[in-house]
Structure formats: C-alpha cells, structure tokens
Amino acid sequence: KQEVTQIPAALSVPEGENLVLNCSFTDSAIYNLQWFRQDPGKGLTSLLLIQSSQREQTSGRLNASLDKSSGRSTLYIAASQPGDSATYLCAVLYGGSQGNLIFGKGTKLSVKP
Amino acid sequence: EAQVTQNPRYLITVTGKKLTVTCSQNMNHEYMSWYRQDPGLGLRQIYYSMNVEVTDKGDVPEGYKVSRKEKRNFPLILESPSPNQTSLYFCASRKQGSNTEAFFGQGTRLTVV
C-alpha cells in the first residue's frame, strides 16, 4: 500500500530557528511530491512542487529536497517566524495512481515569539 | 487570479436532506478531485475526474456522487447525508500530466446532525 508518513506530528521552536520537517513515502515510483501549508480551518496553500527528476526546490526561506531512492523528502525553513505557524502537509503523486495525491497526516508547527 | 472556488464554506444540515457542494476552477485544468479531511485520518480522495464526462471513484466514494458536465465545474452531491459525512471537504484541480501542481479550494466545513 502506498503511504506517506510525516514525523514529527508536532513541533515547537523559538523564533529565528532553522528547522526541518520530514516526509517519507513507501514507493519510489513517484511522479512528484508537493508541500502544502494549512492554517487552522483553512484551505491548502501550495508551497513547493518537486518533480521526480529534481533533487530540490527553493522558494524564499523554504527549501525542499527529494531523495527517491531512500523514499524521503525534507522541508527546510530558515529563520522561522511566528507567521510560519501552521500545519505542513506532504503529498505524493504516485505513478499509476490516476492522479490521486496521497497525503501525510502533517506536522503542526508552532513558532514562539 | 487563478483559483479554485468552493461554495458554501460552511454548511449545517440534517440527516437525509440532499445537498450539493459546488467547485469551480478558472485555470482550464483537466483534472479535478474531491477530498475529505478528518482528524487522525488526514486527507482522503472521494472522487476524481480526468476531463468532461469522465469521473471515477477514489478511496472513500460511498455516499457521494459527482458530475462533470463542464470543464470548470465539479460539484459534489450528497443524496442522503449522514452524520459520518461530517467533515472538511476540499476540491482540487491540476493540469493533466505527471508533473503539474495541484491547487486546492478553501474548503467546505459540513456538519450533518
């Protein structure tokens, strides 16, 4: 069964810290991996899309990496701010999945001022 | 502005009363899908559509119907809602292809009493 796991489930850090969120997936035959941000009761905002042929993508203070052979992706957030507090979701589009994104359960991040 | 629009954002209804949640996208995307999000279970796909008049079941289709008569619209129909369909629902769209980004609506919070 194709699964996506995110560890830890929750993380609390002081403002200014650099941090890493982890995502692992069970099948290396992926098309792409997408990181989302979700604020409480709100929709999903796409942060970064990494295609299967790429190793990393960057957007501002965010950097996402992809290692298909080990089934892992990381989201690096530099110089964290209280406004970064949200739940971060990792989603994988597997080959042959008919477009069904498989989501991890997310990491709830809290950045303390 | 490129977006996926869902309506309503919040809905409280009674068991058995038919309802429709609308979803519209303005990006000319071929692929659209519906997810539900539940605590501890994450996001799960209900139905998807690869183009006009082409729909198929996702992982949790029981109790739901969809239609895709126009490319931009993909309504979710609950013919006879039950309390176990109380959830947060998301519509998503993306361009056909293996390396395209998924865009999500703001969500519909449904409560069935």
Q: What is the DSSP string of B88-111?
A: EEEEEEE-SSTT---EE---EEEE
DSSP lists the bridge partners of residue B47 as B34, B57
DSSP state of A41: T
- In this structure, which amino acid lies at residue A72? R
Distances (CA, A) of A48 to B51, B94, B102: 25, 14, 10
Verify whether the Cβ–Cβ distance A44 to B94 is below 8 Å: no
Contact assessment for residue B68 and residue B51, using Cβ atoms and an 8 Å cutoff? yes
pLDDT < 70: residue spans in chain B: none
Residue A95, pLDDT score: 72
Q: Tell me which residue of A55, A50, A57 sits closest to A31, measured CA to CA.
A: A50
Q: What size, in residues, is chain B?
A: 113
**B contact set with A (CB within 8 A):** 31, 33, 35, 40-43, 45, 48, 50, 56, 58-59, 88, 90, 92, 94, 98-107, 109
pLDDT given for residue B5 in this prediction: 96
One digit per residue, the tens of pLDDT, for chain A of length 113 reads 788 999 999 999 999 999 999 999 998 888 899 999 999 878 899 999 999 999 999 999 999 999 999 999 999 999 999 999 999 999 999 876 667 889 999 999 999 99
B34-72 b/e (C-beta count within 10 Å ≥ 16 → b): bbbbeeeebbbbbbbbbeeeebeebebbeebebebeeeb
**Mutation test of the interface with chain B: which of A1, A2, A101, choosing the one with the most B Cβ atoms within 10 A?**
A101
Distance (Å, whole) CA B29 – CA B102: 10
pLDDT at A1: 75
Which residues on adjacent β-strands are paired with residue B49? B32, B55
C-alpha B96/C-alpha A110 separation (Å) is 35
What six digits make up the tokens of A76?
């690096």
Given B33, B99, B101, which is nearest A99 (Cβ)? B33
Query: Which residue of A31, A51, A103 is in closest CB contact with B42?
Result: A103
Give the 3-state secondary structure of residue B66.
strand
Nearest CA to B95 out of B37, B26, B46 is that of B26
Q: What percent of chain B has pLDDT over 70?
A: 100
The first and second tokens of residue A113, run together, are 């001022």
Contact state of A41 with B107 under an 8 Å Cβ cutoff? yes
pLDDT digits (tens, 9 = 90+) for B29-41: 999 999 999 998 9
